[in-house]
Copies of this chain bind each other. A is one copy, B any other.
Amino acid sequence: MIKVNVLGATGYIGSELVRLLYGHKEVELIRLVSESYKEASFDSIYRNFKGFQDKICTELDFDAVFSDVDLVFSCLPYGVLMENLTKERMEKVKIIDLGADYRFMNQAEYKEYYGMDHKSIELSSSFVYGLSEWNEEEIKKANYIANPGCFATNMELALLPLIKEGVLENEIIVDGKCGLSGSGRKLTLGTHFAEANESVKAYKIINHPHEFETRKAIEALGHKRIQLNFVPHILPMQRGMLITCYSRLKERLNEEQIRKIYQKYYAHKRFIQLLEQGMYVETRWVKNANMCHINFEIKEEGNQLIIVSAIDNLIKGGAGQAIQNMNLMFGYPEEMALEMVPTCL
């Protein structure tokens, strides 16, 4: 049994974390930290918790939250944790950061992608990248996890087996699609129902930080360099993320050969499913669960390989993977509290 604090508990990823942790038998939630709603009961903000969780949200007092528990989950917006994290605080607790502050970047890169100076860049090296299926051994030994971004998780899971085996050409295009929970709870015109419903758009076409993160992760975990071209799109749905990857095979491989590569890496992975040939990947089949579905087709002309992969952006792309990492860190079964079947409807 471990004690846990959640920072940023009233954001979408934070509230998912609280929801999933409710079903975890080895976790005792101590603090739900929310600057926006301090002193409100959690179930007055997220009324789905009526009858489940009526703890009062507390303010973001860094000294306090980093002292009285075994593990801190941080779902703070980028820029907040890096301003406040110190070696001293890190010594007292383990940390899983679901934010972007400690994922591969150096000072200049952080400035380029997030437009501000990183105040504790030297701490980055203490963080282990939490792509559960690919970094399991490191995660088990880690005290500090940088939990991957949602799009990055999806891209890495879809691409790493083939990249690691060296069968893909260097250049890969990824067209990403995500529902509106991926845009968070902050009010903007673009996420106002009447503006977002019944429409689709590409955004942040140039320089998305998940593109950078994915390139670095592939370099670190796949030991290859790639040239990645990633464009995200927003779709009028609640949750779910699909990526379509356009790549080229170095040499002709047939369907069965590709399939074997995926099986080599994923046959025993509980949360990754390679669908049967010809079966379309759809986000609804992974909704509300920690699953990733992958499939592909080979287009003989040009030796092209098209890979489609889907996750629930808030779960495998956030809160679910964070719990998976916690399970690994603390020696619990990897799937603990994550065995829910996707809801589909």
Question: Which A residues fall within an 8 A CB radius of B?
Answer: 12, 15-16, 19, 22-23, 44, 46-53, 171, 173, 175, 177, 179-181, 183, 185, 187-189, 191-203, 205-206, 227, 229, 231, 233, 235-240, 242, 244, 246, 270-271, 273, 275-276, 279-289, 291, 293, 297, 299, 301-302, 304, 306, 308, 314, 339-345
Do A345 and B192 contact each other (CB < 8 Å), given the known contacts A198-B237, A229-B302, A282-B200? no
In the complex, the count of this chain's copies comes to: 4
Q: Are A199 and B236 in contact (CB under 8 A)?
A: no
The distance in angstroms between the C-alpha atoms of A173 and B172, with both chains bound, is 11
Contacts of A288 in B (CB 8 A): 288, 343
Among residues of B, the one whose C-beta sits closest to the C-beta of A22 is: B341
Contacts of A47 in B (CB 8 A): 275, 279, 282, 285, 293, 344
Choose among B48, B201, B206, B304 the residue that contacts A280 (Cβ–Cβ < 8 A). B201
Contacts of A299 in B (CB 8 A): 205-206, 229
In the complex, how many angstroms separate the beta carbon of A233 from the nearest chain B beta carbon? Answer: 7
The distance in angstroms between the C-alpha atoms of A167 and B51, with both chains bound, is 27
Among residues of B, the one whose C-beta sits closest to the C-beta of A203 is: B280
Contacts of A233 in B (CB 8 A): 177, 242, 244
Choose among B15, B177, B179, B238 the residue that contacts A177 (Cβ–Cβ < 8 A). B177
Do A237 and B171 contact each other (CB < 8 Å), given the known contacts A48-B343, A227-B301, A301-B227? no
In the complex, how many angstroms separate the beta carbon of A195 from the nearest chain B beta carbon? Answer: 8
